[in-house]
Amino acid sequence: MTYTLWGAAHSLYTGKMRSYLIKKGLPYQERYPSDPDFGMKILPAVGHMVVPVVETPSGEILQDSGDIIDLLEARHPDPVLDPTTPVQKLVSALFDGVGSEYFMPLAMHYRWTYRSEQENFLQAEFGRAAIAGQSRTDRREMAGNLMNFFASFLPNLGVFPETAPALEAAYMDWLDALDEHFQHHPYLLGGRPCRGDFGMMASFYAHLGRDPVPADLMKKKAPNLYRWTERMNLAVIADGEYPGYGTDYVADDAIPETLEAVLRLVFRDWTPGLAADIAVFNAWAADHQSGDLVSEDGERRVHPSLGPVSYPFHGVEMKRGSAPHAIWMFAAAQALAKALAGASAAQFAVLLERTGGTAMFGLTVEKAMTRANNVLVLA
């Protein structure tokens, strides 16, 4: 019973999916889009060029890392890889969105703004995913074309010379807080990974923890965080860094004190952009109905936009394309928050007040989204 992970070592969301398969203990083989079977079988089934895609032993073809994890968790309940307690489950979902969405612009910044300093590495990475069995010269030429395409995404992500210093300054705070947390805990919520850990691996592995420039920065500034990226790709931890820690989540649905420091950064840095995204989405959704494709121009995209947004961020004006996919992921955490009751609701309210998250969880998304045929539509 072997799964096939269609992806690439340099792919942001493949890093999330690969780590999950490893920690789940599911046998898998990884294949690249350069494999002819991808174009003949996977691309027609999915409907657009995207990785990761998981092919099940029975031949099902699944796309979107979150949807795939949902399905595999239902089919393979052991080992448990997300808390069953309500507050921890909610925080796990929040970090899934943070790593998968908030950090994407920063991950792309460190890859493409510093392209000249890591050109050969990126050419090799993009080349092997694009062409199989060709010369190094051919691979580099093909890689160059792909790299130009992906580098062109920076403006739509809000990455400009005038915003880059603010993004980097904020990132230094994240490196410090995450490094302190992983000094004390193997994973976000204790002795085993959760959904949030896999979401964070999306940006923190292939881009921030593997590309030469940001990986060197992480090793120097946040070696405990870097060790976590290694730990997330190991089925069994061979070192003795946390003697006697145990292999379960923190008891009593508690949130580690060191993670509260990271949550303060989540609410400080993600709230302004998320609020701007939601305002644009709500205005668009008012004129659309259930089943409508979430898209400004009617094109099917994994990460659609509904128009420009702007908002203040660390002393600069951030301007980028709106991000409905980020809203969709945040809405999953918000739904868990709305379902809280009794002592759990009170505990979470205190946590939000203590970490500055009340405003974020007070945001209103007027209409729900769902995924149909591998794209977002109004529910």
Beta-carbon contacts of 60 under 8 Å, excluding residues fewer than 6 positions away, are: none
Unique residue bearing structure tokens 């990974």: 193
Note whether 51 and 147 are within 8 A (CB): no
Query: pLDDT value at position 339?
Result: 98
For 283, the token pair is 């205005």
- Whole-angstrom CA distances from 113 to 80, 107, 148, 225 are 39, 10, 12, 22
> Per residue, what are the HEC states of the chain?
CCEEEECCCCCHHHHHHHHHHHHHCCCEEEECCCCHHHHHHHHHHHCCCCCCEEECCCCCEEECHHHHHHHHHHHCCCCCCCCCCHHHHHHHHHHHHHHHHHCHHHHHHHHHCCHHHCHHHHHHHHHHHHCCCCCHHHHHHHHHHHHHHHHCCHHHHCCCCCCHHHHHHHHHHHHHHHHHHHHHCCECCECCCCHHHHHHHHHHCCCCCCCHHHHHHHHHHCHHHHHHHHHCCCCCCCCCCCCCCCCCECHHHCCCHHHHHHHHHHHHHHHHHHHHHHHHHHHHHCCCCCCCECCCCCCCCCCCCCCEEEEEECCEEEEEECCHHHHHHHHHHHHHHHCCCHHHHHHHHHHHHHHCCHHHHCCCCCCCEEEECCEEEEC
pLDDT of residue 138: 85
In CATH, which of 3.40.50.2300, 3.30.750.24, 3.40.50.170, 3.40.30.10 is domain 3-75? 3.40.30.10
pTM: 0.97
Would strands 28-31 and 3-6 be described as parallel, antiparallel, or unpaired? parallel
- pLDDT (tens, 9 = 90+) of the chain, 379 residues, equals 899 999 999 999 999 999 999 999 999 999 999 999 999 999 999 988 899 999 999 999 999 999 999 999 999 999 999 999 999 999 999 999 999 999 999 999 999 999 999 999 999 999 999 887 778 888 888 899 899 999 999 999 999 999 999 999 999 999 999 999 999 999 999 999 999 999 999 999 999 999 999 999 999 999 999 999 999 999 976 668 899 999 999 999 999 999 999 999 999 999 999 999 999 999 999 999 999 999 999 999 989 999 999 999 999 999 999 999 999 999 999 999 999 999 999 999 999 999 999 999 999 999 999 999 989 999 9
State the Cα–Cα distance between residues 123 and 103, nearest whole angstrom.
23
**Tokens standing for 290?**
């259930």
What confidence tens digit (pLDDT) does each residue in 293-314 have? 999 999 999 899 999 999 999 9
Task: For the chain, give every domain's residue range.
Answer: 3-75, 86-108+161-378, 118-153
Is residue 306 within 8 Å of residue 284, measured between CB atoms? yes
Q: What angle do CA 143, 155, 163 make, to 5 degrees?
A: 120
